[in-house]
Homo-oligomer: A and B are copies of this chain.
Amino acid sequence: MSLSKTPYRGTRDFFPAQKRERDYLFATMTKIAYRFGYESYDGPLLEEVELYKAKSGEELINEQIYSFVDRGERFVAIRPEMTPTLARMVAQIHRETPKPIRWFSLPNLMRYEKPQRGRLREHWQLNCDLFGGPAALSEAEILSLLVQILNELGATQEHFEILINDRRIVDGLFQTKLKLEEAVIYRLYKIIDKSKKVSAEALTKMITELQLTTEAEELFQEYLNLKTINDLQAFLKKTDLEQTAQEFQSFWDYSIAFGVAPYLQYDPTIVRGLDYYTGIVFEAFDKNPENRRALCGGGAYSSLLKIFNEEPVPGVGFGLGDVTLTDFLKTHKLMPDLSKPVNDLFLSCQDDAGLTSVIAVSQSLRKRGLNLVVGLEAIKMKKVFSSAEKSGAAFVGLMGSDEITKKELQLKNLATGEQKSFALNDCDGMENFLKG
């Protein structure tokens, strides 16, 4: 019997070249998160299913999670997202932890998806969250963190935009201004969610079916047609949503201060998870129409800890997945060439009698912080350079029978062609040449 060599459906084997791409993304994300003072955390791979049900409701649970009963009769799931774990952890420590809390994580997550472009069963997701800060500044900061990560990866306004909305606007319109019933509001949210995917006729039909007052129907249609921040401010003034207008203006002012405003595009159809978000909501999109998927989604929420019977702690956060991000970077040719490793030196001997010396030298150079690939048997001259090239080494070390007799080795700079002999005990000289 022969086993399959392919990975489980919807998951990936990360051979070194692919792993270097992932490492590059994660190192960049981590570097920028540290610039903003975010601290890294992680949680368990498994959580009890109850936790996901409490946060996301039955639908996600029944259709999309990898759940099973463990040997101790616990109903558990492989984490499909990080937020419930984050909520559980923050619930443990928020009382005694100074605010704001700034955390990020890079977990592997699994969802039972039908694999397709941009969507796999296992993916990694950067999660950044800020708890307990004032709303407008926190929202602007988290957007700035996102923008700077994408900037550091080489992406600019030419490549992506962030569509934003504010749940306080939609809630203000439906509740404060139009005083609609909860069931109607729920259906209006569903209509908003679908509005970009259906024709104008279908949209009008869905709205008409709700039998709203003429005023409500007109305002709702007007809302759906808002295109800019200026449109929005005029609309908020007209609908007497003064407080919401002020809150949004405050967020907007801080977005300018953080330098993120040029990336933001108002979009009334962005509402995201109905029961979860309470303030700014946003989605980052590739501007290339061929890769029109959300790169990232997030927003402000206030009752994350409710499921633990804890007092509300306002938060704002986003998730940025590795699959769509990699597609995005490659579409725009922003992913660096990481097909080869990077090493300082490929060290070889051309005669087995040199092996022990080569090992001794390699150990000395490693202690000096150099990265070395050592040939573990004699390598013929004509093969050395192609092997060195594949190892991504900047220098080659050679030791033939002449060098063995003279207790020397040759180092050659592959970029400049410069070549030099060193006594085997002259590690200072070798280090200088290699780092030179």
Q: Does A42 contact B (CB under 8 A)?
A: yes
**Nearest chain B CB to A15's CB is how many angstroms away?**
6
Q: A88-B5, A103-B16, A308-B5 are known contacts. Are A110 and B45 too (CB-CB below 8 A)?
A: yes
* A258–B359 touching, CB < 8 Å: yes
A-B contact pairs, 24 of them (CB 8 A): A3-B48, A3-B307, A5-B92, A8-B46, A8-B76, A13-B41, A13-B88, A19-B39, A19-B41, A23-B40, A36-B372, A37-B341, A39-B341, A44-B122, A45-B108, A78-B78, A98-B387, A98-B390, A133-B376, A137-B377, A140-B359, A141-B376, A254-B359, A259-B363
Assess whether A2 is interfacial by the CB under 8 Å rule: yes
Write out the residue numbers on chain B whose beta carbons fall within 8 Å of the beta carbon of A15.
41, 89, 93
Contacts of A91 in B (CB 8 A): 5
Cβ B11 vs Cβ A46 within 8 A: yes
Question: Of B8, B44, B70, B360, which contacts A44 at CB under 8 A?
Answer: B8
Q: Does A20 touch B at the CB level, under 8 Å?
A: yes
Give chain B nearest CB distance to A323 CB in angstroms: 14
A72 at interface, CB cutoff 8 A: yes
Identical copies of this chain, number: 2
- Minimum-distance CB pairs A-B, first 3: A11-B44, A37-B373, A68-B68
Q: How far, in Å, is A419 (CB) from chain B's closest CB?
A: 22
User: Does A12 interact with chain B (Cβ within 8 Å)?
Assistant: yes
A377 near B78: Cβ-Cβ < 8 Å: no
Minimum distance in angstroms from A93 CB to a CB of chain B: 7
- A57 on the B face (CB < 8 A): no
Q: What's the least CB distance linking A339 to chain B, in Å?
A: 12
Residues of B within 8 A of A363 (CB): 144, 258-259
Instruction: Report yes or no: A51 in contact with B14, Cβ–Cβ below 8 A.
Output: no
**Does A401 sit within 8 A of B, measured CB to CB?**
no
Query: A353: CB under 8 A from chain B?
Result: no
**Chain B residues whose CB sits within 8 angstroms of the CB of A103 once the complex forms:** 16
Q: Is the CB of B42 within 8 A of A14?
A: yes
Which of under 10, 10 to 19, 20 to 34, or 35 or more describes the interface residues of A? Answer: 35 or more
Is A43 an interface residue when CB atoms closer than 8 A count as contact?
Answer: yes
Instruction: Note all chain B residues with C-beta closer than 8 A to A19.
Output: 39-42
User: A327 on the interface (CB 8 Å rule)?
Assistant: no
Q: Which residues of A, 231-268, contact B by the 8 Å Cβ criterion?
A: 253-254, 257-259
- Residue from the set A3, A85, A100, A359 with the largest chain B CB neighbour count within 10 Å: A3
CA distance A77 to B387 in the complex (A): 38
Docked-complex contact A374 and B110, CB < 8 angstroms? no
Q: Which residues of A (129-171) have their CB < 8 Å from a CB of B?
A: 133-134, 137-138, 140-141, 144, 148
Question: Please, how many angstroms separate the alpha-carbon atoms of A36 and B42 in the complex?
Answer: 29
Q: Given A13-B43, A257-B356, are A3 and B50 neighbors across the interface (CB < 8 Å)?
A: yes
List residues of A (356-395) whose CB comes within 8 Å of B's CBs. Answer: 356, 359-360, 363, 366, 369-374, 376-377, 387, 390-391
- Report the Cα distance A42→B54, complex, angstroms: 32
List B contacts of A23 (CB < 8 A). Answer: 40
Q: How far is the CB of A213 from chain B (nearest CB, A)?
A: 39
Determine whether the beta carbon of B122 is less than 8 Å from that of A36. no
In the complex, chain B residues whose CB is within 8 Å of the CB of A47: 7-8
Q: Is A74 an interface residue (CB 8 A)?
A: yes
Known A-B contacts A45-B78, A356-B253; A37 and B343 likewise in contact (beta carbons under 8 Å): yes
A205 at the interface (CB under 8 A from B): no
Judging by beta carbons under 8 Å apart, are A148 and B43 in contact?
Answer: no
A257 to chain B minimum Cβ distance, whole angstroms, is 4
Distance, CA A43 to CA B14, complexed state (A): 6
| Known contacts A35-B366, A35-B372, A41-B15; is-contact A308 B3 (Cβ 8 Å) | yes
Closest-by-CB residue of B relative to A84 is B3
